[in-house]
Amino acid sequence: MPEIFINGQSVQAERDQSILQAALANGFYIPNFCWHPELSIAGNCRICAVQVEGRSWAEIACNMPVVEGLRVLTDSDVVKAYRKSIMQLLTLNHPVDCGICDKAGECKLQDYHYKFNGSPSVSRDAKVHATKFHPLSQRIVLDNERCILCSRCVRFTREISKSYALGIVQRGDSSLVRCAEDHSLDADPYSDNIVDLCPVGALLSRPFLYRARVWYLKPTRSVCPGCARGCSVQIWHRKPEWKLNALDARRNVCIERVTPLENPEVNGPWICNKGRDLAQIFERPRAEQAMQKGLAVDLAAAIDSARRLVAASRHPVALVSSWGSNEELEAFKAAQGARFDCLVKQDWEPQPGEWLDDDLLIRADKNPNTAAARALFTHTYDDTRPLDADTDLVLIWGEGFDFARLPAGARTILLNSYLQPENGHADVFIPISIQTERRGHYTNFEGVVSEFEPCFAKRASVADAETLFASLFASEGIPA
């Protein structure tokens, strides 16, 4: 462990670290644009320079190896003057778009300008213009004037997602980040990570464009239910104190965007594009009304009817949701004991054209909690084989069951969150809450347990599955 000195302080560094890494790991901040812990060293932005004691100039720290006894200064006058000059150069042709740029509030260029420059431009020449609103892909728009050519996005597509979709064409100050002419960024399932990586407002998410200022939003930690990887995510929604009075109340309780939550155990700092589109899953029209054979009833009545069906059944089968949380699954097991023949259902199958699996994050199992469900209820539902003909009650929890497979004469209790025609065909239909309305945990395919927290309140007419199960089996009162 080599000993180095940062601002006179002794620091124990690792042998293969750069000075930048050693500094950040020990609480010394060195600004950086092009450097990223998961990407190769580019060393092109030049902002991370530090002064080696005894020398009169600054050198980049991201590519400076740790050497026993090395003494560096991160905040000397030399470094301060140097940083200011780099900021002057970076903002030389950068458009003052902050007032209309989505990145405002989470932009490194803004932050560093205030910290390290704070002065107006010394140039009396007009700014160089470049392409604005270039569609880099269907999902991402690129503003070349804002781009500082740090190459993080390019390196991401070469080193992480390996789509090789991006590059830099032309040269000098005419250089432009571009996608290959075969539009391969559209086919890169991890493309949107470059929006997070971009340290300025050059790469922006088109679905999120102009939706909201980031300081009006708060992130809630959650787990992506898109596949069995269970990436940690942040679901962004409006802070209650910043609700929009002028609009439909539903606009204040929606998912504005989804970004990764860094989790070294599961997904690192990345998620795939499906995780960005969670609104497409969670904001489908919701079932909010309990029904019996399609006739609206209130929730308590529905639960009572369901309880009677359960009590009267001889050969009941339960299709257990692989989207149920650990808590819900445990509650179901505890409540029904060995009463039901339980089969774990794969609520979601891969959609046509959907990426199946790869070496990075995506798993072929498109359900978030298959692992926990299978651990509790060993048998799986095989939808190619019919259910036993003498089944008299089928409890269907969650999506993905084909009603054509119902044995003749079997009664049905359906617990579902989303509107679908089958809801009206069930003997009893009870609407249940979704992940964003409660706290819980999923277990991913490797056994890692991750927590999600509620973003929104559920409606009163909607039940929580976890407490519902106890009610459904209450008259039984006999544990397994």
Partner 1 sequence: MANTKLLMTFPVTASSHMLAAYRARGGYGALEKALREMKPEQVAAEVNASGIQGRGGAAFPMGRKWAVVHPMDGQPHYLCANADEGEPGTFKDRWILEYAPHLLLESMLLAAYALQVRHAFVYIRGEFDQPYRRLAAAVEEAYAAGYFGQRILGSDFACDLVVSRGAGSYVCGEASALLSSIEGKRGYPRNRPPRLTVRGLYQKPTVVNNVETLSNIAWIVANGGAAFSKVGMAKEPGTRLISISGHIERPGVYEIEIGHPFARFIYEDCGGVLGGRALKGVIPGGISTKILTASDIGPLTLDNASLQTAGSSMGSGGMVVIAEGTCMVRLLQVLLRFYHHESCGQCTPCREGMGWLHRIIDRIVAGDGHPEDIERLYQISAWNDGTTICGMGDAAGYATSGILNKFRDEFEYYIEHKRSRCNGTLECPKSS
Partner 2 sequence: MQHLIPEFEQLRKRYPATFASSLLLPCLHRIQEDRGYVADSDIDGLVEYLGVPRIQIEEVLSFYGQLRRKPVGRCHIQACRNLSCSLLGAERIVDHLSRRLGIAPGQTTADGRFTLSTVECLASCGTAPVVMVDGTYHESMTPEKIDALIEARS
Q: What is the 3-state secondary structure (H, E, C) of 104-159?
A: CCCCHHHHHHHHHHCCCCCCCCCCCCCCCCEECCCCEEECCCCCCCCCHHHHHHHH
Tell whether residue 168 is a contact of partner 2 (CB under 8 A): yes
Q: Which is nearer to partner 1, 63 or 234 (CB)?
A: 63
Q: Indicate which of partner 1, partner 2, none lies near residue 217 (CB less than 5 to 8 Å, by partner kind).
A: none
**Binding segment for partner 1 among 82-90, 135-143, 242-250, 373-381 (CB under 8 A)?**
82-90
Q: Indicate which of partner 2, partner 1, none lies near residue 63 (CB less than 5 to 8 Å, by partner kind).
A: partner 1
Q: Phi and psi dihedrals of 404, rounded to 5?
A: -65, -20
x/- map, 184-223, partner 2, by CB under 8 A: x---------------------------------------
Give the side-chain half-sphere CA count within 13 A for 325: 24
Among 12, 14, 57, 378, binds partner 1 (CB under 8 A): 57
Please tell me the distance from the alpha carbon of residue 226 to that of residue 308, in angstroms, as a whole number.
35
Among 174, 280, 378, 461, binds partner 1 (CB under 8 A): 174
Q: Indicate which of partner 1, partner 2, none lies near residue 241 (CB less than 5 to 8 Å, by partner kind).
A: none
Tell whether residue 157 is a contact of partner 1 (CB under 8 A): no
Give the side-chain half-sphere CA count within 13 A for 378: 1
- Total binding residues toward partner 2, as defined by CB under 8 A: 14
Q: Where are the beta strands (DSSP E) in 206-357?
A: 217-223, 232-238, 257-260, 291-292, 295-296, 316-321, 341-345
Among 7, 44, 380, 420, binds partner 1 (CB under 8 A): 44
What the block records as the tokens of 106 is 């989470």
Q: How are beta strands 295-296 and 291-292 bridged, if at all?
A: antiparallel
Which residues is 186 bridged to in the sheet?
none
Q: Which is nearer to partner 2, 166 or 426 (CB)?
A: 166
**Binding segment for partner 1 among 55-63, 204-212, 213-221, 410-418 (CB under 8 A)?**
55-63
Q: Indicate which of partner 1, partner 2, none lies near residue 85 (CB less than 5 to 8 Å, by partner kind).
A: partner 1
Tell whether residue 43 is a contact of partner 1 (CB under 8 A): yes
Token look-up 């497979």 returns 405
**Binding segment for partner 1 among 45-53, 235-243, 251-259, 464-472 (CB under 8 A)?**
45-53
**Closest approach of Cβ 150 to partner 1, in Å?**
9
User: What is the torsional sign of CA 377, 379, 383, 388?
Assistant: negative
Among 25, 96, 100, 169, binds partner 2 (CB under 8 A): 169
Q: Which is nearer to partner 2, 12 or 174 (CB)?
A: 174
Residues 6+ positions from 127 with CB-CB distance below 8 Å: 92, 93, 94, 95, 145
Please tell me the distance from the alpha carbon of residue 392 to that of residue 404, in angstroms, as a whole number.
15
Taking each helix axis from N to C terminus, what angle separates 465-472 and 326-336, rounded to the nearest 10 degrees?
0
Q: Which is nearer to partner 1, 124 or 385 (CB)?
A: 124
CA–CA distances in Å: residue 205 to residues 104, 229, 248: 14, 23, 24
Among 52, 92, 419, 474, binds partner 1 (CB under 8 A): 92
DSSP secondary structure letter of residue 417 = S
Q: Which residues bind partner 1 (CB under 8 A)?
A: 41, 43-47, 49, 57-58, 60, 63, 65, 82, 85-86, 88-90, 92-93, 122-125, 128, 148-149, 168, 170-175
Q: Which residues bind partner 2 (CB under 8 A)?
A: 164-171, 178-182, 184
